């Protein structure tokens, strides 16, 4: 039965209690549980929530609930946020610390879900509007709309975000419409570009390359974060590197603190799948700054090897993609996918058999809380490693 709509001023956003967290899992399971039983689905979430990317308050579940009964299990809808170490770079033309790179905080948003009985009432959209008020610095937000009552309470472990990202499977407009004032100004689409290869039958030897296990990848992420920072610094003096004409800022999430590592257990939980040799990455021995990591997309079958992070030059990319295809082939996977190859590598990808297209699902979207507008902010390294 569809319930009557309640006034927006009578509801607000709250950090979920343990009982509400379990209720969110029970609600999502029939729709998102796949082949897992309810018990397996709940256990999976519990196990994911104690991994490094979620520890120490970095992951928070939020519920939209009545102000007069915020701990009720009959809440309207829910979502999760992941607090992430990130970088922001300001180009020479920016009024905010030009020619500089800074550490900052961002948030990934996931698990947005409204049960069928509460849909069509605008609850999820209102929840996303309120989410800005608990993740961003309030000094960077406009006046809170009076029709919504009072702002959500500020929560320990949350706030201070300079930008927020998500991946939409319901198109672009829903999240774009959910701004901090409820009239646009929300998350904007950025580069839903994929490149895919059929792996073929070619084999090669492993000379000059090092295969990486999950444990070995952990040692790569600090090095990778350093390279990402250097790349941002270089982009500040090489305007031709920009995807957009004159960005006011360039931002990126970082793969450290378990963010990139999370992609593997998330994808393989509850399956018998394992990569051949237990290898989830590869690195050049002659050029250690050439490497890639990957996970797998099990659904829909057949599985796809999806590259989560790729670092290569135009010269080293063909050899790297050949090794990635080799890893897929040895594991019985027929297709490889990479998100958002930079322009210089897309041309080379085509010559190696890659086909590039615009995705209609998993649309990357970003909202910026700093000076200027979201449309003038460039999201660098918009890759699968930071997906949540």
The tens digit of pLDDT for each residue in 133-172 reads: 999 999 999 999 999 999 999 999 999 999 999 999 999 9
- CA-nearest of 104, 60, 379, 84 to 257 is 84
Q: Tell me what pLDDT residue 100 has.
A: 87
What is d(CA 14, CA 28) in angstroms, rounded to the nearest whole number?
A: 19
What is d(CA 194, CA 191) in angstroms, rounded to the nearest whole number?
A: 9
Q: What is the DSSP letter of 305?
A: E
Do the Cβ atoms of 168 and 365 come closer than 8 Å? yes
Q: Tell me what pLDDT residue 253 has.
A: 98
What is d(CA 295, CA 33) in angstroms, rounded to the nearest whole number?
A: 19
Do the Cβ atoms of 177 and 125 come closer than 8 Å? yes
Tokens of 332: 């019985």
Do the Cβ atoms of 352 and 312 come closer than 8 Å? no
Q: Tell me what pLDDT residue 195 has.
A: 98
Low-confidence stretches of the chain (pLDDT beneath 70): 1-3, 94-97, 239-245
Q: Tell me what pLDDT residue 272 has.
A: 82
The pTM is what? 0.94
What is d(CA 211, CA 327) in angstroms, rounded to the nearest whole number?
A: 9
Tokens of 153: 């309470």
Q: Tell me what pLDDT residue 237 has.
A: 76
Q: Which helix (H) or strand (E) holds 306?
A: strand 304-311
How many C-beta atoms lie closer than 10 Å to residue 256's C-beta? 19
Tokens of 118: 């509460």
Q: Tell me what pLDDT residue 239 has.
A: 61
Q: Buried (b) or exposed (e) across 152-184, using 16+ Cβ within 10 A?
A: beeeeebbebbbbbbbbeeeeebbbbbbbebee
């Amino acid at each position: 039965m569809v319930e009557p709509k309640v006034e927006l001023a009578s509801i607000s956003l709250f950090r979920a209690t343990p009982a509400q967290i379990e209720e969110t899992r029970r609600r999502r399971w029939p729709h998102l549980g796949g082949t897992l039983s309810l018990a397996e689905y709940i256990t999976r979430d519990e196990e994911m929530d104690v991994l490094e990317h979620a520890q120490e308050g970095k992951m928070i579940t939020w519920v939209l609930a009545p102000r007069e009964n915020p701990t009720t299990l009959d809440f309207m809808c829910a979502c999760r946020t992941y607090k992430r170490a990130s970088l922001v770079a300001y180009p020479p033309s920016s009024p905010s610390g030009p020619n500089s790179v800074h550490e900052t905080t961002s948030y990934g948003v996931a698990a947005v879900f409204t049960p069928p009985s509460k849909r069509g009432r605008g609850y999820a959209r209102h929840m996303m509007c309120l989410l800005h008020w608990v993740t961003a610095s309030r000094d960077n937000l406009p006046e809170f709309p009076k029709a919504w009552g009072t702002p959500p309470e500020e929560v320990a472990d949350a706030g201070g975000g300079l930008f927020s990202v998500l991946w939409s499977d319901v198109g672009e407009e829903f999240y774009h419409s959910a701004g901090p004032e409820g009239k646009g100004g929300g998350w904007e689409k950025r580069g839903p570009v994929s490149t895919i290869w059929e792996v073929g039958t070619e084999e090669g030897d492993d000379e000059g390359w090092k295969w990486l296990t999950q444990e070995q990848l952990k040692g790569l992420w600090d090095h990778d974060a350093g390279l990402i920072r250097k790349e941002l610094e270089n982009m500040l003096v090489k305007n031709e590197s920009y995807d957009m004409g004159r960005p006011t800022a360039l931002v990126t999430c970082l793969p450290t603190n378990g963010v990139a590592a999370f992609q593997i257990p998330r994808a393989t939980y509850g399956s018998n799948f394992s990569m051949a040799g237990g290898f989830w990455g590869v690195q050049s021995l002659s050029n250690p700054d050439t490497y890639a990591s990957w996970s797998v997309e099990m659904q829909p079958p057949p599985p796809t090897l999806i590259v989560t992070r790729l670092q290569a030059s135009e010269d080293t990319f063909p050899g790297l993609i050949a090794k990635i295809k080799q890893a897929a082939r040895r594991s019985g996977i027929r297709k490889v996918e990479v998100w958002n190859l930079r322009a210089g590598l897309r041309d080379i990808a085509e010559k190696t058999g890659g086909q590039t297209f615009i995705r209609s699902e998993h649309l990357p979207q970003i909202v910026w809380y700093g000076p200027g507008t979201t449309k003038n902010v460039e999201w660098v390294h918009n890759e699968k490693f930071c997906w949540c």
